Structure 1
Amino acid sequence: MSTTNVITTKWVGNMAFESDNPSGLNLSIDSSPEDGGDGKGYRPKALMLSALAGCSGLDIAMLIKKMKLKVDSFQIETKANLTDEHPKYYDKVVITYHFEGSELEEKKLKRAVDLSVEKYCGVMEMFRKFAELEIVTSFDSGS
């Protein structure tokens, strides 16, 4: 049985929109002042990068919990190259997973990243359809 997500995005004036979410939370979308907006919301393309990092991050957080790994801090940086011609889209994305902690099990954390990237993250799979992906993992033991 497939799942269908329905999102309603409503124009709220000028260049601003409000979009609902199955979580019950709403988010604002707006363009920058240079593009005629008020800059009071998320930019759509940047939101795609947040979705990519969030999807993979949720996988990894679940795996950290499941594997009982000790991680003090974890963040994901996504750097994306936007094409020059319209329609502009991301053609290359570098995703860097940063882990910090004094007791990092690097091999297991690398496995968690690999599982997210190769098996679990649906947003990652969608990005693969239009962009070259580069995955980087960094560890800081604080010493």
Structure 2
Amino acid sequence: MEFKMKESGFYSEFAFGRLDVSGNEQHGFRPFQLMVSALAVCSGGVLRSVLEKMRIEVYDITIDADVRRNEQEANKIEAVHLHFRISGKDLIAEKIEKAMKLTEKNCPMVQSVKGSIQINETFEIIDNH
């Protein structure tokens, strides 16, 4: 990956398109937003894959991400809470719990920050029919 400087931040070109990154939201995605997005979407993708392998039919997954930052220490990310709202056919909480444990173990982004950022993952079943 190559990142090039622009007036306020940096940018990079990827196969999907241009990514603008800046500490100022007016000029691009903020770095912490990208970090939290990577954690949430990686976990969501792994969860979806695990549920498919378990032959659990899922209609939708929505992820709420809550981030805690420490202003006294360079505004670093200390904790991220990912809450998954899952709807599907005949969802059973115990099976979803098992899938969540597998997701945490198999998400590369979560494993990359393990020990540095506290990750808490919870879920709720929205639609059970």
TM range (shorter): 0.7 to 0.9
Once residues 97 and 126 of structure 2 are traced to their aligned partners in structure 1, the CA distance between those partners, rounded to angstroms, is 13
* Percent of aligned pairs sharing the same letter: 22
Does residue 110 of structure 2 align to residue 140 of structure 1? Answer: no
**SS of match in other structure, 1:113:** helix
Partner AA of 2:3 in structure 1 = T
Does residue 95 of structure 2 align to residue 108 of structure 1? Answer: yes
Name whichever structure is richer in strand by fraction. 2
Distance 1:112 1:142, change over 3 A: closer
RMSD (Å) for aligned C-alpha atoms:
2.0
Does residue 12 of structure 2 align to residue 19 of structure 1? Answer: yes
TM-score (norm 2): 0.85
Once residues 73 and 95 of structure 2 are traced to their aligned partners in structure 1, the CA distance between those partners, rounded to angstroms, is 42
Q: Is the 8 A contact 1:9 1:18 kept in 2?
A: yes
**Higher relative contact order, chain-length normalized (CA < 8 Å, sep 6+):** 2
- 5+ residue gaps, structure 1: 1-6, 34-38
Does residue 122 of structure 2 align to residue 131 of structure 1? Answer: no
- 5+ residue gaps, structure 2: none
Instruction: Give the corresponding residue for 1:4.
Output: none
Q: Number of paired residues?
A: 128
Instruction: Give the corresponding residue for 2:69.
Output: 82
Partner AA of 1:120 in structure 2 = N
Partner AA of 2:107 in structure 1 = C
Quick one: which of 20, 27, 34 aligns to 1:28? Answer: 20
Deviations 1:68-98 (A, max 9, x none): 2122210222111110124221112211111
Quick one: which of 3, 26, 37 aligns to 1:9? Answer: 3
Q: Is the 8 A contact 2:56 2:89 kept in 1?
A: no
Partner AA of 1:129 in structure 2 = G
Once residues 104 and 69 of structure 1 are traced to their aligned partners in structure 2, the CA distance between those partners, rounded to angstroms, is 7
